[in-house]
Amino acid sequence: MTSKIPVTEIDPATDSPNKNNKPESVDLYASRKKIYVKEVKGFFQKIRKVSLWALMGMYFLFCWVSVDGQPLIYFNLPDREFNLFTATFYPQDFILLSGMLIVAAFGLFFITALFGRIWCGYTCPQTVWTFIFMWVEERIEGSRNKRIKLDKSPNSAEKVTKKSLKHGIWLLIAFATGLTFVGYFYPVRDLSLDLFTFQANGWAYFWVSFFTIATYMNAGWLREQVCLYMCPYARFQSVMFDSDTRTVAYDFNRGEPRGGRKKSASKEELGLGDCIDCGMCVQVCPTGIDIRDGLQYECIGCALCIDACDDVMEKMNYPKGLIRYATENELEGRPSKLLRPRTFGYGAVLVLMVTAMVFTIMTRVPAQMEVLRDRGALYGMTGQGLIENSYTVKLTNKAEVPQTFELKVSGLDTIAILDNEPVRVPSGESRTRPTVVVVAPEAIEQSNNAIQFRAVSQQDKTLVLENESRFVGPDR
């Protein structure tokens, strides 16, 4: 939708409207123009192909892989279990999720400070799926010029066939994407069978349909619009950039003045730079920008323009690198620094968080005990004249096998637990045990005493849980 407003020029001498000028119209909004991306091959596209196959392979295969009967990655929300690479985590391990998010954030900040939006260009899911959809489009509808011609041509049997085939394959890829995503939350083998036999619940159909439509729209129709208007990263990336950030850049000093010429012509005699103004860098850009206009927030660092320009430079017998990964300082002839306060800070926090995460996982105890003292009464007396305190002991088993725990208590002479039966806790579950601790009056020297609860696993004697609490008695 296009909206226009009239603009009247102001006479600078009188600060009043210039009546000799007619009002002009200025576009506030412009409808989207479809971008036809030209296919290009080169060094950086080979890197992207490897990353694309690796990421897609992991995404589509990991939900099918099982180790010792446990899925490699599975988020079991109803049972509140999360299987990640043979390890099982529970809601009590939520702090690990926070740590992983912090590591991911600072990893992104660190890479961005060094190499700009390289994440967007090679590993972002939006980029990966968009490039797959563009590859399908190229194979069915042909090259860039053929696609432009096909879209402008009137409807025909050939056009309808090609368009239908393209969108059909897009929908199949999108459906596989949605099915796989839901398969990380719903056993994928059961999900596949239940979907096609109409035995799955309504939520399974909803989420598979939701992610199918979302993938189809984002990668097939919206494409660069997601990067430009929906992704917040495009807006705050400049905060992490500085003059030493290596980004996709056009060497203005070498390329200007630009102009067309024959291969046999001398650029020195013509007074031209290396840029022959062929427009290839614009034709291959998935966001439709001209990198020669300088760094722009729309650039996702995909390096398509680098490979296209290098191919042209090679044909012209010019040195490659007119468009390349470079820093602002490098382009202006100043030295560039890899390590600087910004990158050192991001890197230090990243290393610290990764170390903390590894340490936490390596020292993670496969069980947990909580002891809560009954605050409804200070203490009581038994029929044998012993002082008693009531507690609630909660045991959580994070191990893959059931555990049976024996409860013990220490810290005062003659201290003991009444009715002390072993507590059996199934894998991934919690059990609560009301517990009464008794002490002989002569063993108490003060009204508030520190005691320690210990839970020892019968299956693994090295698994010992400890928790401190308080025992209250009469004031002597």
pTM above 0.85, yes or no: no
> How high is the pLDDT of residue 180?
97
Q: Is the pLDDT of residue 377 over 60?
A: yes
Domain ranges of the chain: 1-31, 242-331, 367-472
Helix (H, G, I), strand (E, B) or coil at 73: strand
Q: Is the pLDDT of residue 142 over 70?
A: yes
Q: Looking at the predicted structure, is the pLDDT value of residue 102 above 80?
A: yes
Model pLDDT for residues 390-411, shown as the tens digit of each residue: 999 999 988 878 999 999 999 9
Burial code of 237-268, b = ≥16 C-beta within 10 A, e = fewer?
Answer: beebbbebbbbbbbbeeebeebeeeeeeeebe
Return the H-helix or E-strand segment holding 391.
Answer: strand 387-397
In tens, the pLDDT along 90-100 reads: 877 888 888 99
- DSSP lists the bridge partners of residue 467 as 453
Q: Is the pLDDT of residue 329 over 90?
A: yes
The reply to whether CATH 2.60.40.10 applies to domain 367-472 is yes
173, pLDDT greater than 60? yes
CB 440 within 8 A of CB 413: yes
pLDDT number for residue 20:
54
Q: Is 158:86 a contact under the CB 8 Å cutoff?
A: no
pLDDT, tens digit (0-9, with 9 covering 90-100), for 12-33: 444 455 555 555 565 556 678 8
Is the pLDDT at 1 greater than 50, yes or no?
A: no
CA distances from 393 to 324, 420, 438 (A): 63, 12, 15
Q: Given pLDDT bands bounded at 50, 70 and 90, which one contains residue 8?
A: very low
Give the model confidence (pLDDT) of 207-245 as tens digits.
999 999 999 999 999 999 999 889 988 778 878 899 999
